[in-house]
Structure 1
Amino acid sequence: MRRRSLGVLNKEELVSERILRVEKLDPAGVVRVLEPFVNDRRRARLLDVIGQRIGSIAVLFESPHDPHNGAAVLRTCEAFGIQRLHVIESREAFLAAASVARGAEKWVDIVPHRTVEGALDAAKTADLELIATHPQGELAPEDLARIPRFALVLGNERDGISARLTAACPRAVRVPMRGFVESLNVSVTAAILLAGATHGRPGDLDEAARLRLYARGLYLSTSHADDLLAQAGFSV
Structure 2
Amino acid sequence: MPAAPDSITSPQNPRIKNLLKLQQKSSERRQQNLTIIEGHRELTIAHQAGVAVQALFVCPELATDAQLRELETLFGALPERFSVSKAVFEKVAYREGSDGVLALVRPPHRTLSDLDLPPNPLLLVLEAVEKPGNLGAILRTADAAQADAVIICDPRTDLYNPNAIRSSIGCIFTVPTVATTRQELLAWCAEKGIRTYAAALTPQARPYTQLDFRGPTAFVMGTEADGLTPELREACYQTIIIPMAGYIDSLNVSTATAILTFEAVRQRG
**TM-score > 0.5 by shorter chain:** yes
> Which amino acid letter does the alignment assign opposite residue 61 of structure 1?
L
Instruction: Note if 1:81 corresponds to 2:142.
Output: no
Give the TM-score of the pair, scaled to structure 2. Answer: 0.53
Alignment match, 1:71: 136
Match of 2:227 among 160, 163, 169: 160
- Residues 17-50 of structure 1: CA distance to partner in whole angstroms, max 9, x if unpaired? 77246xxxxxxxxxxxxxxxxxxxxxxxxxxxxx
Q: Deviation of residue 109 (structure 1)?
A: 0.3
Aligned residue for 2:206, secondary structure, equals: coil
Alignment match, 1:150: 217
Match of 2:239 among 172, 180, 192: 172
Aligned residue for 1:172, secondary structure, equals: strand
CA contact (8 A) 2:214 2:268 kept: no
For 2:256 and 2:178, how far apart are their aligned partners in 1? 21
Deviates more, 1:58-67 or 1:125-134: 125-134
Alignment match, 1:62: 127
Q: Deviation of residue 88 (structure 1)?
A: 1.0
Match of 1:126 among 192, 216, 221: 192
CA 1:55–1:107 in 2, change beyond 3 Å: closer, same or farther? farther
Match of 2:253 among 186, 193, 203: 186
Percent identical = 23
- The unaligned stretches of length 5 or more in structure 2 are 1-21, 38-44, 53-117
Instruction: Note if 1:19 corresponds to 2:50.
Output: yes
Deviates more, 1:84-93 or 1:125-134: 84-93
Aligned residue for 1:58, secondary structure, equals: strand
Instruction: Note if 1:100 corresponds to 2:167.
Output: yes
For 2:224 and 2:34, how far apart are their aligned partners in 1? 23
CA 1:19–1:160 in 2, change beyond 3 Å: closer, same or farther? same
CA contact (8 A) 2:129 2:155 kept: no
Q: Deviation of residue 99 (structure 1)?
A: 2.6
Aligned Cα root-mean-square deviation (Å):
3.3
Aligned residue for 1:19, secondary structure, equals: coil
CA 1:146–1:116 in 2, change beyond 3 Å: closer, same or farther? closer
For 1:16 and 1:67, how far apart are their aligned partners in 2? 18
Q: Deviation of residue 12 (structure 1)?
A: 6.6
CA contact (8 A) 2:124 2:151 kept: yes
Alignment match, 1:25: none
Higher RCO by CA contacts (8 Å cutoff, separation 6 or greater): 1
Q: Deviation of residue 66 (structure 1)?
A: 0.5
- Residues 65-113 of structure 1: CA distance to partner in whole angstroms, max 9, x if unpaired? 0100011111111111102001012555344522321132232100110
> Which amino acid letter does the alignment assign opposite residue 57 of structure 1?
L
- Residues 154-189 of structure 1: CA distance to partner in whole angstroms, max 9, x if unpaired? 012321111211121131111111110111100000
Instruction: Note if 1:117 corresponds to 2:183.
Output: yes
Aligned residue for 2:268, secondary structure, equals: coil
Task: Give the number of the structure whose residues are more often strand, by fraction.
Answer: 2
CA 1:147–1:184 in 2, change beyond 3 Å: closer, same or farther? same
CA 1:57–1:200 in 2, change beyond 3 Å: closer, same or farther? same
CA contact (8 A) 1:54 1:81 kept: no
Alignment match, 2:66: none
For 2:23 and 2:250, how far apart are their aligned partners in 1? 26
Q: Deviation of residue 146 (structure 1)?
A: 4.2
What does 1:198-213 correspond to in 2, within 5 Å? 198-201=265-268
CA 1:79–1:16 in 2, change beyond 3 Å: closer, same or farther? closer
> Which amino acid letter does the alignment assign opposite residue 133 of structure 1?
A
Task: Give the number of the structure whose residues are more often helix, by fraction.
Answer: 1
CA contact (8 A) 1:142 1:197 kept: no
